[in-house]
């Protein structure tokens, strides 16, 4: 089977999020039957949903070429979440690490274990902006062009951190300065 390009959303708002994201990228770089091709800059984002008062998130998106099946890839991502101390308490509550399978090639699939594309991808600025950084021409199956989707969520509060967009960068981002990034790129 030829490799498929998959996109993975990374998020953390507990227990040193920069370290969690860095470790997640390291883990993705060692995923079997896969190659981490690039990742986005990191973003600081306000929580969407979940309990009030939880800390801001650190988010990024990674691209992985893989010959793992979608189910095997999701299982590997969940094992990484567990290895980084993920406890599933309340829905959308604070978490050490959340890894979402955003896209697996252009596959569309809808079942409770795995929905593709990720069911909330098209509404979330913290996914769409970093995805746009690494795949500006992407079309989301069933949802349309990524650039068009960005315009629907420009009101959500996110800031891109000022780090170089290098492949497999595993150094922590400098927390300052931060660049407000609230409008969709033209
Ligand atoms: P969320 O990411 O929405 O906060 P969780 O990470 O707790 O929620 O995931 C809840 C469930 O969503 C998981 O048990 C998983 O099987 C399911 N799921 C369905 N589609 C996907 C997907 N594309 N990526 C990740 N998990 C998914
Ligand atoms: Mg998740």
Residue 169, preceding bond cis, omega within 30 degrees? no
Whether residue 23 lies in the annotated active site: no
Cross-strand pairs, 110: 115
Distant-in-sequence, close-in-space partners of 87: CB < 8 Å, separation ≥ 6: 95, 96
- The string of DSSP codes covering 11-73 is EE-SS-HHHHHHHHHHHHHT-TTEEEEEEPPPEEE---SSSTTPPPEEEEEEEEEE-S-HHHH
Per-residue model confidence (pLDDT) at position 91: 67
CA dihedral 44, 51, 98, 48 (to 10 degrees): -50
DSSP-derived secondary structure for 120-163: TGGG-HHHHHHHHHH-TT-EETTTEEHHHHHGGGTTS-EEEE--
Beta bridge partners of 130: none
* Tally of CB atoms within 10 A around 73: 23
pLDDT at 175: 37
Cβ within 8 Å of residue 119, ≥6 positions away: none
User: Which residues does the chain have with pLDDT short of 50?
Assistant: 164-186
Per-residue confidence (pLDDT) for residue 95, from 0 to 100: 79
CB 11 within 8 A of CB 55: no
CA 116 to ligand 2 centroid distance, Å: 13
Residues less than 5 Å from ion ligand 2, measured at CB: 98, 100
Residue 93 pLDDT: 64
Query: Which atom from ligand 1 is nearest to the alpha carbon of 9?
Result: 24
Alpha-carbon dihedral 164, 167, 137, 101, rounded to 10 degrees: -110
Task: For the chain, list the domains and their CATH numbers.
Answer: 4-161 (3.30.70.560)
Residue nearest to ligand 1 atom 12, measured at CA: 113
User: What is the per-residue pLDDT for 169?
Assistant: 36
Sign of the CA dihedral running 125, 129, 45, 92: positive
**Whose CA is closest to atom 11 on ligand 1?**
113
């Amino acid at each position: 089977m030829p490799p498929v390009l998959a996109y993975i959303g990374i998020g953390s708002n507990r227990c040193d999020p920069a370290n969690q994201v860095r470790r997640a990228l390291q883990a993705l770089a060692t995923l079997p039957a896969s190659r981490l091709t690039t990742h986005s800059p990191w973003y600081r984002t306000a929580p969407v949903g979940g309990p009030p008062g939880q800390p801001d998130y650190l988010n990024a998106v990674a691209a992985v070429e893989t010959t793992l099946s979608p189910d095997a890839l999701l299982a590997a991502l969940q094992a990484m979440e567990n290895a980084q101390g993920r406890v599933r308490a309340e829905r959308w509550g604070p978490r050490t690490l959340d890894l979402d399978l955003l896209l697996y090639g252009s596959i569309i699939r809808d079942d409770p274990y795995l929905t593709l594309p990720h069911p909330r991808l098209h509404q979330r600025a913290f996914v769409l902006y970093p995805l746009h950084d690494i795949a500006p021409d992407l079309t989301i199956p069933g949802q349309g062009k990524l650039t068009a989707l960005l315009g629907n969520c420009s009101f959500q509060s996110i800031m891109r951190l000022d780090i170089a967009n290098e492949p497999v960068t595993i150094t922590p981002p400098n927390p300052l300065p931060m660049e407000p990034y609230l409008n969709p790129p033209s």
